[in-house]
Structure 1
């Protein structure tokens, strides 16, 4: 393949040199005609129509030159952009994890259809989302102070929280920490 490519480049160089010499000779002739006062416009119209060697040689050189340069040059590749999802995962790995003994948890057992949920080990500013077993959001709230606290539910929310199984779960989001989820079992 390299040998063939070398032959093609040698041929193109020879044609290019011959075309440059022919162009210079033609330019010298045009200068002489211009000095004598004759017009070269008629010969320019007749030459390409009759297939003169100058016009044909220039066309061959330009076509050969353009075909030989296309495979030799490769366009520079642009760096691929990382999807936002990969960046989010990378940033999530950098976040600290909440230690198991410092995670928010339920204080007492939750009974079915109860309208009050008791929590402990809350941190001020945490956002807590309650989900039933089917994954539907029942309630969200922000923790107001550190330590123990309770959440009051309406009858409709309590019924929705009990839907779909023996437990519900809550997700906790705290600034600077990786979010976590905890299951909370429902006792009868």
Structure 2
């Protein structure tokens, strides 16, 4: 029987650790960031739509998408973020649906903006990887080598993690060690398999 499990969280909340455990156990993981990246390659659908909508200043001299520059725009401009999402989400959604159709058993979808983009409608259950805000800011500043204000604006550009936590079926608190996170993942997998 096919089951689709969404995995979401906030930026720098520890989602990658959770997904590495899931992948190492042999489960299929559909990564929407990888799909988005592929669709942003030269002359692919998202690439073309971004060029049309935002202009050539968001591309390097050799024609590649300047993700850093575009990222800086969307983290500080709500309207630009919404425009980018309205371009990207339907195209990514199409690819995810196709991948789900070709898969069996328990399938995981890695979607940072799961609720914001409506991907929860594809899921039987949702796991939220949670981290308290203070630790999340600290980890993001260290990971991306950015200042406090930029870290806060990146976090604020996503749905509040406490709200995601309330909406999810399962919550993994990633403030502890990798081993502690792994134990929580295994426990949830047992529950999912048993349902």
| TM-score > 0.5, shorter chain as reference | no
Q: With structure 2 as the length reference, what TM-score do the two structures score? A: 0.20
- Structure scoring higher RCO (CA < 8 A, sep ≥ 6) equals 2
Judging by fraction of residues, say which structure has more helix: 2
Q: With structure 1 as the length reference, what TM-score do the two structures score? A: 0.20
Judging by fraction of residues, say which structure has more strand: 1
